[in-house]
Amino acid sequence: MSAPPVGTWPVADAAPASLESTGYSALPVWPATRPALFGSGFGAIDQSWLLVALILIGSVLLARFVQWGSRRYLDGETAETTFGRAAFVEVHTPLAISIALLGVYLSLLVLDLLESTTLIVGGIATVLVILWARASIRIGRRWIEVLQEGQSGYEFAPMFGNLWTITVVGGAVLLLLSIWNLDLTPFLASAGILGIVIGFAAQDAIGNLIGGVALYFDNTYKVGDVIRVEDDMRGTVTDVGIRSTTVLTEDNLLVTVPNAILNSSQVVNESAPQRHMRLRVPITAAYGTDYETVEKLVLEVCEECQFVRDTPTPRVIFAEFGDSALGFELRAYINHPLVEKRALDSINRGVYDAFDEADITIPFPQRELSFLEEPSDTSHEFDERLATDEPAPDRD
């Protein structure tokens, strides 16, 4: 067998073995003929490192270019606030980081280090999953904000945001389990018992979840509505969550009410179907008062009240003949449920002043007590005796 020529490196007869599966089937595999592309020996090594340097520099430059272009687009004065723009705000940073990490992965692939750096490859995949899961959640929230800012006012937006977050987190967890090849068989074997335990421990949370879904499909209320719960609490809905609903009361207090309670209680939506609501104000006047004068004065008070709407027009109803007064009822509409008490205060003050100027008496219940007088010659006698004494004779 003749020796190889001087100045040349021996070349192996067999082709290099293909890379074994590393468990990351989603990542590309470099062809087995890679050494043939760059020669052999020291020349192949130098070309491999040159290619790695080019890949790293190119990925970094491309990532910086993406960031620069994104800033130019987002800082533009003519850019409109649309769903595409809102999504791009959250996408451009993960995209730049993904390009840089892809350059690291391709460098390891060129250097044939995938099998010895499985932890690094798994870490890169984990970072990518977390980045894009976070971006997906934030895109969903921005989409909801865009919908809420529009004139349509989609009622399903808050509930959709919560369901979207749960879906993205669940998908990310499954991807991470697939990346690290975790065996779930021991956990699935005890899933039945674990499910029963979780069911007992989280029955309140599950009840609140079901209650929230029921409230959504029943279209009971939405964010911004004024609700009254069992005549005990009244306020404005500020957030509709999966577990509970947050209500801002008239005392400027935030109250968190579980959805299960709202689903099983009587909830009055004072903002539906329209924001304005009707007031019923009882008014009394003394017998002998001209009812037309009462109606005229009350309607003039309504015209001067800033909280009373012109349409529908206020009306005064002659309600009843009371025990000591004529009973009337003012029916007027106000702009918003939360101004009800201020409207009542303004109307009552105006009616009182108007009746006082017109000399109309506002009657009130009166009671008289009388005592019967006894004759002056009436006398009372009391017999004092012991318990052992005989009974005193009867007196006529």
Q: 26-67, pLDDT tens digit by residue?
A: 444 444 444 444 445 545 556 788 888 888 888 889 888 888
- What's 209's domain CATH number? 2.30.30.60
Tell me how far apart the alpha carbons of residues 95 and 67 are, in angstroms, rounded to a whole number: 9
User: Is residue 332 predicted with pLDDT exceeding 70?
Assistant: yes
Tokens of 268: 């009055």
Residues 84 and 165 both lie in one domain: yes
149 contacts 209 by C-beta, under 8 angstroms: no
Question: What does the pLDDT read at residue 280?
Answer: 94
CA 202 to chain centre: 21
Mean pLDDT across the chain, nearest whole number?
77
Q: How confident is the model at residue 243 (pLDDT cuts 50, 70, 90)?
A: confident
Q: Which domain holds residue 228?
A: 184-273
Does residue 368 lie in a domain region?
no
Tokens of 284: 């009394």
Reduced to 3 states (helix: H, G, I; strand: E, B; else coil), residue 340 is helix
Question: What does the pLDDT read at residue 26?
Answer: 44
Across the range 347-355, mean pLDDT stands at 95
Instruction: Return the DSSP state at 144.
Output: H
- pLDDT digits over 69-114, tens only? 777 777 764 445 566 676 777 887 888 888 888 888 888 888 888 7
Residues 134 and 168 both lie in one domain: yes
Residues 176 and 212 both lie in one domain: no
- pLDDT digits over 197-218, tens only? 777 777 777 777 777 777 777 7
**Euclidean distance between the first and final Cα of the chain, in Å?**
163
Residues 287 and 245 both lie in one domain: no
Residues 216 and 323 both lie in one domain: no
Residues 113 and 201 both lie in one domain: no
- pLDDT digits over 155-200, tens only? 556 667 777 888 899 888 888 888 888 776 666 666 667 777 777 7
Question: What does the pLDDT read at residue 19?
Answer: 37
- Of 235, 195, 257, nearest to 338 by C-alpha is 235
Q: In this structure, how many other beta carbons lie within 10 angstroms of the beta carbon of residue 6?
A: 5
Residues 350 and 261 both lie in one domain: no
Question: What does the pLDDT read at residue 214?
Answer: 77
Percent of the chain predicted with pLDDT > 70: 73
Which residue did the predictor score with more confidence, 370 or 303? 303
Residues 52 and 158 both lie in one domain: yes
Residue where one domain finishes, among candidates 152, 183, 214:
183
Does residue 258 lie in a domain region?
yes
- pLDDT digits over 218-242, tens only? 778 888 899 998 878 899 999 887 7
